[in-house]
Chain A
Amino acid sequence: MSVTTDEFDIASPAEVRESNAVTLRKLLLIVPVMLVFCFSLVPLYQKICEVLGVTATRAIAQNSQVDTSRLVKLDFDATNRNLAWRFDPVDRHVEAHPGAIVTINYRVTNMTDRVTTGRATPSFGPSEAGLYFNKIECFCFSNQTLQPGETRDMPVTFFIDPKMPVAIEAIALSYTMFDITDATKKS
């Protein structure tokens, strides 16, 4: 941006062309940088969600002291999205002390006469509860493939972090089961 701001010099047309080309190159650089930025928002977003507990899909193995001073109410829920499966929690309502290891089951039945693959995604209400809901084992860690008519009980083993704020008295955990049969066939 220097050429004509110089109070003592008038730039020649060639000089202007030259500096224009330089500016053009600099500005054009912004475009790929912002494109890369846009796509980097995808992992960034996932990271932020993980940090905020919106999506908690990791397995955590260690445990700490059980906090017997309070009980947290847990509601389990299932949403079955466009999948000819029966998918329900066996244990709908559980009360647990933070720190105590609990196992609950979901039951799934393939109602079709085809081999079908599904994948469950967890979601918490309130969303920050995901931060403190530590899964030791969960069927949502992997794809589930069921033979025609097969019924399976799928466990979730977890404990609630005793560090969870006392304000959170009730947690709802909902799994949405998606049919990914077509997607897995393609890959």
Chain B
Amino acid sequence: MKFRKENGPKRGLMSRLQPALLGAGTLLSPVLARAAYDVNIAQPASSISSQIYDLHMYILYVCAAIFVIVFALMFYSIFKFRRSNGAKPDVNFHESTLIEVIWTVIPFVILLFMAIPATKTVLDMKDTSNPDLTIKVTGYQWGWRYDYASEDMGFYSNLSTPWAQIGQPGEKATEEKGKDYLLEVDNPLVVPVGKRVRLLITSNDVIHGWYVPQLGVNQYGIPGFIKDVWFKADRVGTFKGQCSQICGKLHGYMPITVVVKSEADYAKWVAEAKTKWAISTPSAPVATAAVAIEAPEPGKTLTLADLKSAGEKVYAANCVACHQANGKGMPPNFPALSGSKVVLGSVDAQLDILLNGRPGTAMAAFARLSDYEIAAVMTYTKNSWDNSVGKAVQPDDVKAKRKS
């Protein structure tokens, strides 16, 4: 059951028809001429996705054969027995147990031949042997987080296409759409080639789907549960995917990019990545996901510098996915904080948004954070990027607001 040549371009029947389709397309419209389209599953890049690819081609060929037979019969009878051709109905031909048995048994046998290879692949997909690398994938509204447990590091991965390329109803996009429009992320998932990578997929809010077709993975992340899947990339390259399960407003804007590197390159990348995204051990931890900064002694007045540096961590854990590290956000849905009237304005107004969220927008309420954390992150936003209010927000301010 090998439908792809092992060497040379891996192409199925449909892909081989592509030039013909393209030719027809060219005649149809100039728009089509520049198309580089795919009419089949993308080139597999893992052991499982190769099996899936072959399995799909096999099923497709079997279906095509049945299609030819069924449609030949159908159109033969339509053509041959048409009244305008003088056909007389044979009203007694309306019952035959033999024929009924035949067309019950034959499809059943064909199905058996489909089920056997499919079963083999299903079992291959459930490999519980020791993985070379384990990565935890957490879905967020609307982005991903990857934690490399064995490396003690983790980072967020968000859409990096600027909103200026997307536009919005009534407002044309102001920038030309790039080559990887909607498929590009700030920090891709990086894995070594030829290693069995186990993914533990979960979610922080609603159900998401981690879907990278070329690696043969499509798995829901379900809050409260981890689901394990694995892949072994068989070549170096960049593979794209998207969230497959509707997860709210920006479901279409949470792509996945997996960069497969050689072992040496991967090791180099890990060394570098650790400096940026290391997670300290629990004895002095920074939280894996939501928040975590050391709480100060109650009642103590804190300096702007202390609050700001603590706030940076809170910001990185809670805000950066939408408002971005540079505070520029992703307008219009995620406004910039740098230069924002709200951030530069009164403590009270900003606090109100942080504690209660902004209904009807993606801005959630963050009342779950401690007074100290809210004070810290507000101090940080008021004194970073282009903002320099020069004043700190104290935890007591937050406490007072909560009580009111």
Tell yes or no: B129 within 8 A of A by CB: yes
Q: Are A79 and B204 in contact (CB under 8 A)?
A: yes
Q: Which residues of chain A (149-175) have a CB below 8 Å from chain B? A: 149, 165, 167-170, 172, 174
On whether the beta carbons of A111 and B293 are closer than 8 Å, the reply is: yes
- 19 CB contacts below 8 A, A to B, read A75-B200, A77-B149, A79-B202, A79-B289, A84-B368, A86-B282, A87-B288, A88-B287, A111-B292, A112-B368, A113-B295, A113-B371, A123-B225, A125-B226, A126-B228, A127-B228, A167-B128, A174-B200, A176-B202
Q: For residue A111, which residues in chain B have a CB less than 8 angstroms away from its CB? A: 291-293, 295, 370, 373
Q: Beta-carbon contacts of B259-303 to A below 8 Å, as 1s and 0s?
A: 000000000000000000000011101011111110100100000
Chain B residues within an 8 Å CB radius of A169? 128-130
Q: Other CB < 8 Å A-B pairs besides A88-B288, A126-B126, A172-B200, 6 of them?
A: A81-B223, A83-B368, A93-B149, A125-B227, A174-B226, A179-B368
* Residue B4 is within 8 A (CB to CB) of chain A in the complex: no
B-to-A contact residues, CB < 8 Å: 126, 128-131, 134, 136, 138, 147, 149-150, 152, 198, 200, 202, 204, 223-228, 281-283, 285, 287-293, 295, 298, 368-373, 399
Give CA–CA (A169, B130) in the complex, Å: 5
**Bound CA span A123–B224, Å:** 8
Is A125 in contact with B200, judged by CB distance below 8 angstroms?
A: yes
Contact A78-B288, Cβ < 8 Å, known A83-B368, A167-B129: yes
A82 to chain B, nearest CB (A): 6
Contact A77 B136 (CB under 8 A): yes
Contacts of A165 in B (CB 8 A): 128
Task: State whether B295 touches A172 (Cβ < 8 A).
Answer: no
Q: Which A residues lie at the B interface, using CB under 8 A?
A: 73, 75, 77-84, 86-90, 92-93, 107, 109, 111-114, 121, 123-127, 129, 148-149, 165, 167-170, 172, 174, 176, 178-179
Most A CB contacts (10 A, CB to CB) among B147, B227, B298, B399 go to B227
**Cβ 8 A contact of A82, one of B149, B228, B285, B290:** B290
Nearest A residue to B287, CB-CB: A86
* Residue contact B368 to A82, C-beta cutoff 8 Å: yes
Which of B134, B287, B291, B298 contacts A75, CB < 8 Å?
B134
Instruction: Name the B residues within 8 Å of A148 (CB-CB).
Output: 295
Contact A90 B134 (CB under 8 A): no
CB atoms of B204 and A81 under 8 A apart: yes
Given A84-B290, A86-B285, A111-B291, are A73 and B369 also a contact pair (CB < 8 Å)?
A: no
Chain A: minimal CB distance from B368 (Å) = 5
Contact count A vs B, C-beta below 8 Å: 122
Q: Indicate if the CB atoms of A124 and B226 lie closer than 8 Å.
A: yes
B224's contact among A87, A121, A149, A167, by CB below 8 Å, is which?
A: A121
Report A132 CB to chain B, min CB distance, Å: 11
Cβ contact within 8 Å between A170 and B129: yes
Across the interface, which residues of A come within 8 angstroms of B291, CB to CB?
84, 111
Residues of B within 8 A of A167 (CB): 128-129
B226 adjacent to A84 (CB under 8 Å):
no
Question: B202 — nearest CB in chain A belongs to which residue?
Answer: A79
A179 — which chain B residues lie within 8 A by C-beta? 368
Does A84 lie within 8 Å of B289, measured CB to CB? Answer: no
Taking the closest CB of chain B, its distance from the CB of A135, in whole angstroms, is: 17
A174 touches B282 (CB 8 A): no
Is there contact, CB below 8 Å, between A126 and B128? yes
Residues of A within 8 A of B369 (CB): 84, 112
Residue of B nearest to A73 (CB): B130
> Please, how many angstroms separate the alpha-carbon atoms of A77 and B135 in the complex?
11
Q: CA of A109 to CA of B286 in the docked complex: distance in angstroms?
A: 11
Q: Which residues of B contact A124 (CB under 8 A)?
A: 226
Question: How far apart are the CA atoms of A77 and B399 in the complex, in Å?
Answer: 33
B333 to chain A, nearest CB (A): 21
| Chain A residues, Cβ within 8 Å of B298 | 113
A107 touching B282, Cβ below 8 Å: yes
Q: A77 to B126, Cβ gap below 8 A?
A: no
Q: What 5 pairs across the A-B complex have the smallest Cβ distances?
A: A125-B228, A88-B282, A169-B130, A174-B226, A112-B370
